[in-house]
Amino acid sequence: MAKYIVKSGESIEEAIVILDVKNEDEGVSAEYKYFAHKFGIRGKDWQLIRQGFVPSGSRQYDEIEIELSDRTRKT
C-alpha cells in the first residue's frame, strides 16, 4: 500500500511524495487515489486538465492540473 509525504504540492520543493510503490503503474494509481481522497470523485468533483513530467536535476516530477467542479484550477 502506498504511503504519502504530504506537502502543499504547489511547487517542486513542496511536492507530494509517494512511497512504497513497486512500479510506475502503482505510482499512477496512488496519484489518483490521493486526488480522490483530497478532491472527491473524478468526473464529478474534478476533471484532469493535463499531466506531464517536469525535470529537476536528476529527478522527474509529475505536474498535474485539475479543474474542480466550481471551475477552480489547481496545479
pLDDT in tens, 26-74: 999 999 999 999 999 999 999 999 999 999 999 889 999 999 999 999 9
In the predicted model, what is the mean pLDDT of residues 5-12? 91
Residue 31: the pLDDT is 93
Phi, psi of 13 (to 5 degrees): -65, -25
> pLDDT confidence of 1, banded at 50, 70, 90?
confident
Provide the pLDDT for residue 35.
93
Instruction: Look up the pTM and report it.
Output: 0.81
- From CA 32, how far away is CA 38, in angstroms rounded? 10
